[in-house]
Structure 1
């Protein structure tokens, strides 16, 4: 029966970001058929940042009026809203209206905002909910969160999104008839069907949450005593509840607990270090590097681009599977893995800045190196995020709420930094997937 709970926890994690991740991989098919064109990714980035009003509201309610906002009720609401938005997108994503004298994809943009609101708010609700279960299920949840990027990516590959064939210029309709030209292949099934698939994934997430709440096997896997003790602490018992559970506590240890975060395991400088690392890692993985993935990979060819996207998505859940191989609460290892992942990220950013003529351009070594860096970048920093999640789980419900808030804050800062660099100042230049001419 524990296997059933693991599957449900994985499905819940998959539903956390599957809708927005699905939107990103489907953009090559959507962009040519909407008035916004290639400005749509920029609009999507801005909508995601506006949607951070959701986690901000939940965090403030938890801080100023603890217990007022029902966690299960919030999750039921946002997951149902996400499933409904996906289904509506399947029928209305091409609907347009005139706004300020300009044709806009009004329905698409509005529904994208609601999807962003759902996924952003999941960061501050799903993690605290998983505190109710034994620690091993948090690892499974993070595996599911990794699959939220991998699953829609694999479906998009099966659909044929972004598949390029390099043909002679005359065959592609080029009047000059010289050189090679990229020709994108038609999709095997429609955008509407893909949105219905995303709606089905959100429906599975909702069903998994219902079963985690009501299935007897799931109730048996809850960490009842620990959750109830933390609920008493957060309801106002505070340090006194800790003293009652540990009657032999010394006065010096009582002062230490009152001056530290959560259970008192870590000092405030250590807590600040943990949250700074968390914000940095999410800024890189959710904001900075995704904005330049095409610039870093496409000069090496479309195969390098698709391999880096697919294998990097696979590295996320795989890193969670290997979670037991390394000590999960070692702050030194946390720093070393963060430094290593940041190093891989710096190489990727450098290749993007040098696009369309990066080093090792016309060699297999260059393509192999960029794909390997993407896999190691995502894998190492995914493990760091899992490690921090395990640390903060032991620090209580409030710690996981703040964990979700910092995740969103870091992601927002990374996206806001990259948006003007990519979309306003155009500091990065694209490489042609078929041929790139560089000075010798």
Structure 2
């Protein structure tokens, strides 16, 4: 293993979702200065769903016109587009124009759509590209993908986004009168600098991809993987070797499966099970629970909210990093550990959802036990389901290029279904009520 190739794979993974993750953490500074106000997060959710036209196009082209779409060319295009959009956002995010008699942040919304298109399409292009390298580099890629949420979150934390304190309303000159009020601290550096930082991260991602294609050390690792793949084919007798590994699958079924999906190692019910778990896990981690994070945490205080957000973001790359060193003993047990770990993570998610539903007066309010439980559940929720995604990625990697393309497509499908489910519940019907430790009063 070459350390520099691991670093490049990690940087490529970091660039996959760093732009949109950065937008989410910067919203508290952007929202007060745009005409859309707090409707902007809802618009961003809708734009991300429209941007799924990118992975849909790539998946259909791969299925109906295999080989017509250049994978490296597509990746070069989307990374360059993402870097350009971040730089343009730095200078034009506050520009408005009148649409239908109302001021709109047209430049911001258009550029956000392109950023969403870039990040959504990365799901069906970056993963298949990593198939060219040894299996361990795919784990490193997932570490980088986890860092795509952690890095902008830490930068936003250093910027001072969302940092608040409770002050006496009358002393602060608040029109609401006396009593404790939430006062947000000014940012340490501007939104423009933050967007330029995101552009720099996309630039690093582009440089990493160039080096993965042309650096001699990286090309050597790709050659090793091709040699191993050829040796595996020559060591067996085609599909018969696969059948010997999984005797419960008949040669006829194995041949039929390998002609359409993967190597035929898994039966169709098993394939459906893997993708169902993948869609469910991504719906929870990318859409359902993030939509209610503030409702589940803010009643316990701003420190609980920031701790849960930061530590949960750290749990993602940490789970993938641990996966680099743990032996894959679960693989010999079949797909059972996959379901058990997904069920455990879903259980932690149920507790988080229950606290969001009970907001602004959840149990154990104003106690260290309540803060500890909500933060711990967020960390275990993200960590366990991140490891599930890693397990599925490693399983599908062994099934070949087509399996990884469908992996990215199902990731986006699960995220889209989760977002479309939560959007009306949160933004239209307002089923969740917000609360904070300064102003919320609950019956004892």
Q: TM-score range by the shorter chain?
A: over 0.9
1:179-209 CA distance string (max 9 Å, x none): 1000100000000000000000000000000
The answer to whether the Cα contact below 8 Å between 1:355 and 1:429 also exists between their aligned partners in 2 is: yes
1:62-109 CA distance string (max 9 Å, x none): 000000000000000000000000000000000000000000000000
1:248-307 CA distance string (max 9 Å, x none): 999668657658841121111111000000000000000100000000000000000000
Runs of 4+ in 1 over 3 A off after TM superposition: 223-261, 324-329
CA deviation after TM superposition for structure 1 residue 178, in Å: 1.8
The answer to whether the Cα contact below 8 Å between 2:261 and 2:402 also exists between their aligned partners in 1 is: no
CA distance in 2, matches of 1:246, 1:417: 38
Change (3 A) 1:428 1:62: same
Change (3 A) 1:408 1:249: closer
The equivalent residue for 2:184 is 184
Change (3 A) 1:178 1:73: same
User: Once structures 1 and 2 are overlaid, which stretch shifts more, 235-244 or 198-207?
Assistant: 235-244
User: Once structures 1 and 2 are overlaid, which stretch shifts more, 311-320 or 162-171?
Assistant: 162-171
- Extract unaligned runs of 5+ from structure 1: none
Q: TM-score, normalised by structure 2?
A: 0.93
CA deviation after TM superposition for structure 1 residue 172, in Å: 2.4
CA deviation after TM superposition for structure 1 residue 111, in Å: 0.2
CA distance in 2, matches of 1:354, 1:148: 31
Q: TM-score, normalised by structure 1?
A: 0.93
Aligned runs of 1:252-267 on 2, under 5 Å? 255=255, 261-267=261-267
State how many pairs are aligned: 439
CA distance in 2, matches of 1:336, 1:236: 33
The answer to whether the Cα contact below 8 Å between 1:132 and 1:227 also exists between their aligned partners in 2 is: no
CA deviation after TM superposition for structure 1 residue 433, in Å: 4.0
CA distance in 2, matches of 1:369, 1:405: 34
Change (3 A) 1:240 1:60: farther
1:368-393 CA distance string (max 9 Å, x none): 10000000000000000000000000
The answer to whether the Cα contact below 8 Å between 2:71 and 2:129 also exists between their aligned partners in 1 is: yes
1:153-198 CA distance string (max 9 Å, x none): 0000000000001110112222464210001000000000000000
CA distance in 1, matches of 2:146, 2:415: 16
1:393-414 CA distance string (max 9 Å, x none): 0000000000000000000000
1:201-256 CA distance string (max 9 Å, x none): 00000000000000000001115564896999999999799999999999668657
Change (3 A) 1:384 1:250: closer
The equivalent residue for 2:332 is none
CA deviation after TM superposition for structure 1 residue 115, in Å: 0.1
The answer to whether the Cα contact below 8 Å between 1:95 and 1:107 also exists between their aligned partners in 2 is: yes
The answer to whether the Cα contact below 8 Å between 1:348 and 1:373 also exists between their aligned partners in 2 is: yes
CA deviation after TM superposition for structure 1 residue 417, in Å: 0.2
CA deviation after TM superposition for structure 1 residue 148, in Å: 0.2
CA deviation after TM superposition for structure 1 residue 362, in Å: 1.1
CA deviation after TM superposition for structure 1 residue 434, in Å: 1.8
CA deviation after TM superposition for structure 1 residue 432, in Å: 2.1
User: Once structures 1 and 2 are overlaid, which stretch shifts more, 316-325 or 251-260?
Assistant: 251-260
Change (3 A) 1:110 1:101: same
The equivalent residue for 1:412 is 416
Change (3 A) 1:255 1:21: closer
Change (3 A) 1:247 1:214: farther
> Over aligned residues, Cα RMSD in angstroms?
3.4
Change (3 A) 1:250 1:151: closer
The answer to whether the Cα contact below 8 Å between 1:165 and 1:184 also exists between their aligned partners in 2 is: yes
1:329-382 CA distance string (max 9 Å, x none): 7x1110010000000000000000000000001101001100000000000000
Change (3 A) 1:231 1:173: farther
CA distance in 2, matches of 1:379, 1:25: 20
Change (3 A) 1:302 1:249: closer
Change (3 A) 1:224 1:49: same
The answer to whether the Cα contact below 8 Å between 2:242 and 2:265 also exists between their aligned partners in 1 is: no
Task: Please point out which of 425, 433, 436 is paired with 2:429.
Answer: 425
CA deviation after TM superposition for structure 1 residue 436, in Å: 1.4
SS in 2 for 1:189: coil
